[in-house]
C-alpha cells in the first residue's frame, strides 16, 4: 500500500498535485484542534481587519480570525460531505450491483425504490426534515438524510455497468469456479465499477457541500458550528460582500475549490491506476 502511494507520488504528476492539495488542506483543517481560541467565540479580535502579517486571512465582522474559522469550517464541512458521500456510495454500490447482477424480481424491487427516491425533490424534502427534527437535527442526521436522497441516480449507473458485466466471459468462469455472489461482485465486478464510484463520488461531494451551503444560506443550520455554509451565512448577515469584507468569503471558497481540484486529481489518477481497461492497454497484448 505504501509502495503504491510512493509510486503514484513519484511517477504521476496529477496524483502528486492532487495529493499535495488534499493533504495540505486536510492538515490545515486538522490544525483547528490547536486553534488559539474557541471557534464559536466572537469579538475577541478587532473586526474587519484585512489580511495582514498578523491576521493572514483577515478577521471577520464578528471579530474572528478567518484563518482559524476556515480551519474549523473545512473540517466540519468535509466531515459532513464525506459522510454523505461514503454512505450514499455504499448504498449506490450495493443496490446498483445487486440489482444489476441478480436481475428479475430483485431488480424490479430495488429499482422501484430507486425511482421513487429519484422523483423526490431534494431541497424541499431536506428543508421539511429539518423543520420536523429542528433541535434534534444534528449534522450526522442531516448527513444521513442527504445520503438517503443522494444515491439513487448513481445506483442506476452502477446497475447498468454491472448489467453489462453479467454476461461477460469472466463472470461465467467465476460462476463455474463456484464463487459466491458476493465474491463475484466484490472480486470480479467491483474493479470495473470503481471508476464510476470515483467520479460519482466527486459530484456527490460537491452536491453535499452545496446542500450544506444552501441550507445554511437559508438559515436552516446550526450556526454555532463553523462550516463553509455557516461562514457564508454570517458573512451574509453582515453584508460582507457589499461592505467590502471580501476575505471573509473569498478564502473559504478558494479553499473549497482547491480541495475539490485536489480530490478530483486524486480520483482521476487513482482511477487510471485501478481501471482494468487502461491497465490492460498499458500492458500491450
Q: What is the DSSP letter of 56?
A: T
Q: Which is nearer to another protein, 153 or 179 (CB)?
A: 153
Lookup result for grid cell 429499482: 111
C-alpha cell at 27: 492538515
Using CB under 8 A, which residues numbered 164 to 223 contact another protein? 195, 199, 202-203, 206, 209-210, 213-214, 217-220, 222-223
d(Cα 33, Cα 204) in Å, to the nearest integer? Answer: 27
Stretch that binds another protein, among 18-26, 66-74, 122-130, 173-181 (CB under 8 A): 122-130
Residue span 130-159 as binding mask against another protein, x where in contact by CB under 8 A, dash where not: -xx-xx-----------------x--x---
Residue corresponding to grid cell 497484448: 285
Residue 184 vs 255, nearer CB to another protein: 255
Looking at residue 188, the DSSP 8-state letter turns out to be: I
> Binding another protein by CB under 8 A: which of 18, 188, 264, 266?
264
Site for another protein in 32-61 (CB under 8 A): 40-43, 47, 61
Closest CB to another protein among residues 61, 71: 61
Among 17, 35, 79, 127, binds another protein (CB under 8 A): 127
| C-beta of 134 vs 178, nearer to another protein | 134
Cα distance between residue 225 and residue 135, in whole Å:
14
For residue 121, give the DSSP letter. Answer: -
Residue 79 interacting with another protein (CB under 8 A) = no
Binding footprint of another protein, residue count (CB under 8 A): 78
Per CB under 8 A, 99 contacts another protein: no
Cβ-count burial 195-225 (b if 16+ within 10 Å, e if not): bbbbbbbbebbbbbbebbbbbbeeebbbeeb
Give the Cα separation of 94 and 162 in Å (integer): 11
Give dist(CA 176, CA 44) in Å, integer: 70
Grid coordinates of 70: 476556515
**Shortest Cβ 226–another protein spacing (Å):** 13
Q: Is residue 68 at the binding interface for another protein, with CB under 8 A as the rule?
A: no
Expressed in angstroms, the distance from the first to the final Cα of the chain is 27
260 near another protein, rule: CB under 8 A: yes
Amino acid at each position: 500500500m505504501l509502495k503504491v502511494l510512493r509510486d503514484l507520488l513519484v511517477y504521476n504528476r496529477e496524483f502528486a498535485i492532487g495529493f499535495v492539495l488534499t493533504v495540505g488542506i486536510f492538515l490545515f483543517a486538522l490544525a483547528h484542534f490547536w486553534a488559539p481560541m474557541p471557534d464559536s467565540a466572537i469579538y475577541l479580535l478587532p473586526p474587519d481587519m484585512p489580511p495582514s502579517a498578523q491576521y493572514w486571512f483577515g478577521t471577520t465582522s464578528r471579530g474572528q480570525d478567518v484563518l482559524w474559522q476556515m480551519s474549523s469550517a473545512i473540517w466540519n464541512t468535509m466531515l459532513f460531505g464525506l459522510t454523505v458521500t461514503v454512505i450514499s456510495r455504499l448504498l449506490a454500490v450495493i443496490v446498483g450491483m445487486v440489482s444489476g447482477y441478480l436481475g428479475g424480481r430483485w431488480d424490479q424491487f430495488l429499482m422501484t425504490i430507486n425511482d421513487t427516491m429519484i422523483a423526490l425533490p431534494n431541497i424541499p424534502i431536506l428543508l421539511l426534515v429539518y423543520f420536523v427534527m429542528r433541535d434534534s437535527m444534528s449534522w450526522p442526521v442531516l448527513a444521513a438524510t442527504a445520503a438517503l436522497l443522494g444515491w439513487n441516480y448513481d445506483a442506476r449507473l452502477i446497475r447498468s455497468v454491472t448489467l453489462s458485466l453479467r454476461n461477460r466471459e469472466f463472470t461465467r468462469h467465476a460462476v463455474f469456479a463456484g464463487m459466491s455472489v458476493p465474491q463475484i461482485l466484490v472480486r470480479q465486478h467491483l474493479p470495473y465499477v470503481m471508476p464510476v464510484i470515483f467520479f460519482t463520488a466527486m459530484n456527490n461531494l460537491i452536491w453535499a457541500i452545496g446542500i450544506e451551503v444552501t441550507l445554511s444560506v437559508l438559515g436552516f443550520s446550526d450556526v454555532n458550528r463553523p462550516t463553509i455554509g455557516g461562514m457564508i451565512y454570517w458573512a451574509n448577515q453582515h453584508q460582507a460582500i457589499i461592505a467590502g469584507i471580501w476575505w471573509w468569503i473569498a478564502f473559504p471558497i478558494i479553499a473549497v475549490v482547491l480541495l475539490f481540484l485536489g480530490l478530483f486529481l486524486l480520483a482521476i489518477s487513482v482511477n487510471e491506476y485501478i481501471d482494468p481497461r487502461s491497465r490492460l492497454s498499458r500492458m500491450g497484448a
